[in-house]
Structure 1
């Protein structure tokens, strides 16, 4: 009989092969790989929903018809119906506006401040109060550049109407004061050709005729003595 030779044993022991991963371990590993991607997708979905809700509220939210300004209205001027327009906007509850149903009431009121075209009308920008009191007169003064400060005048500003006649002696003989305290009621727009503008001022009733006569002769200049609080 032939003998089968067995190779001699060496000192090295071969390590057993690692067992292949089970199906459950593979699933857990794949889930961990997908988790960051799922989180990113969830964040993107939440952001998209927030933007969509904001856009929908802006475009289709609590819109209401309110009064807007169609044309510029100088301060102190009577507001005409043609100066108003309807605007439909989503208004913040804290914002004060005037509903379009009050349009007939607003027409005929006066602008407290200059109303800019394209703006929304605020309740404090209009008034029914008279521009002058019972003890005052309203005088319009046409002034050229140099006869009034370059700084913008505003309704309520306190000014001095200074008489600039070439014959101050005649004024003194007639007992006319050198100037009259006045309150700005309205400031007209400057004419493009000359830069002249008309400023309406309220003065004591007794001094109204004097100021009107000097203004007609072009012998008045305005100086600002202060502003109303």
Structure 2
């Protein structure tokens, strides 16, 4: 039977037309994948290559010198677990510390590069001063404090030697403590002999006294004189001779 005239014959769309209809979906999917890949790369970069603000040296700082604000500069580097420089937020803590080694310009500043205790200068030696509670000032000693170690023999005139505290030891159960001090190499043996005798007293020097020298107002290299309590000289000391202060009364029983 022949089809009626004027009625369209149905037919399936060609293969080319179906391919054209699918192409926009494929393109959209490709764009989405590219965007996802870019986002993942950005996340990976931020997690492994993020730049952080750290401290670096603006100029050379020799061993033992106090680090100043002008010695430091902020640098930005990629974060790396293998590198552990001090962050820019640690700048205030770093200023005032001493260089534990020769620091070179452009190098990153590490925690190990700094030391709070006063470093020993060339020509100095460190002597451990063991003292009882009554032989130390009531004021807590700190690294960098300038002191005078007074030797109080049974007979003869007391002698004294200026020193600088480098390290503070722990207080023992009996109240004794070891304090490391830096003195000129020529005075180290003399101070060690005083400490061995036990007849010493540690006196705080006035602020501003030169390290290893006499307190302000005294002649450099001259032993620091200590006031005589109540104007009375101890036994075995000639009248008018400087003697240890009243706080040194414990030295005689050391």
> Common fold, TM-score beyond 0.5?
no
Higher relative contact order (CA 8 A, sep 6+): 1
> Which structure would you say has the larger Rg?
1
| TM-score range for the pair, normalised by the shorter chain length | 0.3 to 0.5
Q: TM-score, normalised by structure 2?
A: 0.38
